[in-house]
Chain A
Amino acid sequence: MSATQERPPDTTPVEEKAPSRLVPIWRFTLTVLRMPSGLFGVLVMLGFVLMALTAPLYIHPSDLSVTQATGPLLAPPQQGYPLGTDPAGRSVLLLVIWGSRTSLAIGVMATLLTMVLGSSIGLVAGHYQGRTGRLLMHVTDWFIALPGLPLAIALAAVLGQGAASITIAIGVTSWTGTARLVRAQTLAVEARPFIERSRALGATDTQLITRQVLPNVMPLILVSSTLTVASAILAEATLTFLGLGDPTSVSWGSLLNNAFMQGAVTAGAWWYLIPPGIAILVIVLGFTLVGRAVEHALNARVQPR
């Protein structure tokens, strides 16, 4: 209805020469933080990142060493060990805190890999709609058909156990979703008249992709990446739990794997199993909430009419 058409209030200061790019980003962040779920998610995310980064300041390598640990063996929570100890006498709390480093690092690296691979393939497939686009989408379909877990196991077997192979395994199996998503969005953006305007102004294909399409697809990539971090952390836990990780490094997956292998379940050592599980749950929830909040804020902003 014509009469309901509204224009946002005029908030722009008149005397401002060079337009600043930071204002919209700042406004956008505020929108996300004003949502309770967004605020909670961001706090969780920041909390875990801070914890992971500062861990070396208060955790000594000897605390994590199987041979040098000083605590009681597989003891329930007590003074000095708020979350109990493992069969080697290490503090479960410190293990969980230290484990966040590996889990987050693998999660973020795998996400970066997924995003770069998926976005570039999606953008190229969406922009060059002819033979190139079709070929790329066939390749994508082929990767989608590959079963993720067996592929990851096979990759880990070929590349050897360790963080790198897990990262690659996650990246290789999860880029397809991003590629399809980005391609669909690229097609939608390419159909809009401002692409034609830019082309008529003289934009080359590369300029079109980087200057016009990418900024409009970026928010989607952003949302998708927060969700991918969550699933990558889960995948890391799964693969490490299955014994494909580096046995010497501590991560949430390896903690769960150790607890399982060393009979924490039969021994009733709940304090050994539950904390890494809860950590995974909370961080996945945190990233998911941020993703949803960002998505919500973008939807509110993109459709002004």
Chain B
Amino acid sequence: MADPTEPVLEARDLAVTFPARRRQPAARAVDGVNLALGRGEVLALIGESGCGKSTLARAMVGLIEPNRGEVRYAGKPLRRTRSGLREFRRHVQLVLQDPYGALNPRQNIHDAVAEGLRLHGQRAGLTRRVGEALEQVGMRPPEHFFDRYPHQLSGGQQQRVVIAGALTLGPEVLVADEPVSSLDASVRGEILKLFLSLRDELGLAALVVSHDLGLAWNIADRVAVMYLGRIVEVGTVEEVLLRPQHPYTRALLDAVPSTSDLDAKTVLRGEPPDPTAIPAGCRFHPRCPLRATLPEDRAQLCLNDVPVLAPALDERQVACVHADAAPPAAVPHDRAEVTT
């Protein structure tokens, strides 16, 4: 599905720093990230809150101006001029976490979906195009919803409306920030199915930001794991989730609740990381369970800088100097094992 040779959206050495606030030092939310999204590919960006994944997503749709590095669309760097951004936004669209909040409560569904077309002055066949977009996201018949207001729809329908609004401009990439985390369990799968069908029918690529590894397993081709402003591991879903190499990826996988005893796994201790105080060397070394088991001389290596991963589409990469020394990952517990 993914074309490994041609990235459609790319971040190169991207850095976003939020200026210091009262009594708080500056936060390096995104700190040198290379990431490439192939045409028609679904890439899951996984990490804890505070790791900078949402900031990275916003920088990649052009909502946040990076302090360093660039965003490239179809091989060309994004120009941050008014016309450059307007053009870019026809191709790269955003889907937010909370669909109810993402819809203006005073706009009916027709106007909410038509918003993008109106903003870009494309008024020809407006209602027809709104109807088509609603049908694409499975809201049939579309006329039935035109007059409704966001609060009259269910959470799943609201998220469909947000996606329909993004589709009207005919984008090639959707960047979705936790698109299902505020939805009910049964609705979650329906929205994820929608992402897959949009990819199949329209060739839409998607960068899906989430803390949910199951989401990656459900819809993604590749996964990038982010920790404290950097990508620490990237590769195909099978590689990263079934044979993780970075100790942080392993810790994330161990934290996924399952029917097996929690005691059998090591739950990573400590609080989520703080982007205002990034440790030197490998950012994960103060919490790293692997480092704790290493001899002194090898543990010392963690204090050196870890190379930044390249924006490759077809390469498995791990930002850990001990990646090959890591013990084999525990085989995930699948259903068959439980039933026997």
Contact = CB atoms under 8 A, between A and B. Distances in A.
**Contact, chains A and B (beta carbon distance below 8 A):** yes
A158 interface: no
Given A192-B101, A302-B105, A198 B147 contact: no
Interface stretch (A12-20, A57-65, A67-75): A12-20
Interface in A183-229: 192-194, 196-204, 207, 211-212, 215-216
A240 to B, nearest CB: 40
B186 to A, nearest CB: 14
Contacts of A198: 104, 115, 119
Interface in B102-129: 102-108, 110-111, 115-116, 118-120, 127
A24 B330 CA distance: 58
Contact of A197 (B102, B111, B152): B102
Interface string B134-170: 0000000001101111011010000000100110010
Contact of A16 (B61, B63, B104, B143): B143
Contacts of B111: 19
A80 interface: no
B271 to A, nearest CB: 26
Contacts of B100: 305
A202 B89 CA distance: 6
Interface centre among B62, B85, B104, B149 (most CB of A within 10 A): B104
A193 B102 contact: yes
B187 interface: no
A23 B108 CA distance: 12
A304 interface: yes
A196 B89 CA distance: 13
A245 to B, nearest CB: 41
A268 interface: no
Contact of A19 (B108, B115, B154): B108
A245 B100 CA distance: 52
A216 B104 CA distance: 8
Contacts of A17: 127, 143, 146
Given A12-B148, A19-B111, A200 B86 contact: no
A207 B104 contact: no
A44 B111 CA distance: 36
B165 A197 contact: yes
A211 to B, nearest CB: 8
Given A197-B94, A197-B165, A305-B151, A202 B120 contact: yes
A305 B63 CA distance: 29
Contacts of A193: 96-98, 101-102
A205 to B, nearest CB: 10
Contacts of A202: 85-86, 89-90, 116, 119-120, 169
A200 B119 contact: no
A15 B93 contact: no
A207 B115 CA distance: 11
B82 interface: yes
Interface of A: 7-8, 10, 12-20, 23, 192-194, 196-204, 207, 211-212, 215-216, 302, 304-305
Given A200-B89, A211-B115, A216-B105, 9 more contacts: A17-B143, A193-B97, A198-B104, A198-B115, A198-B119, A200-B63, A201-B115, A204-B86, A305-B151
Interface of B: 61-63, 82, 85-86, 89-90, 93-94, 96-98, 100-108, 110-111, 115-116, 118-120, 127, 143-144, 146-149, 151-152, 154, 162, 165-166, 169
Closest 7 CB pairs of A and B: A304-B151, A200-B94, A193-B101, A201-B116, A202-B89, A193-B102, A194-B104
30 contacts: A7-B154, A8-B152, A10-B152, A12-B148, A16-B147, A17-B143, A19-B146, A20-B147, A193-B96, A193-B102, A194-B102, A197-B94, A197-B96, A197-B102, A198-B115, A199-B63, A200-B61, A200-B93, A201-B115, A202-B116, A203-B115, A203-B119, A204-B86, A211-B115, A211-B118, A212-B104, A215-B104, A215-B106, A215-B107, A302-B105
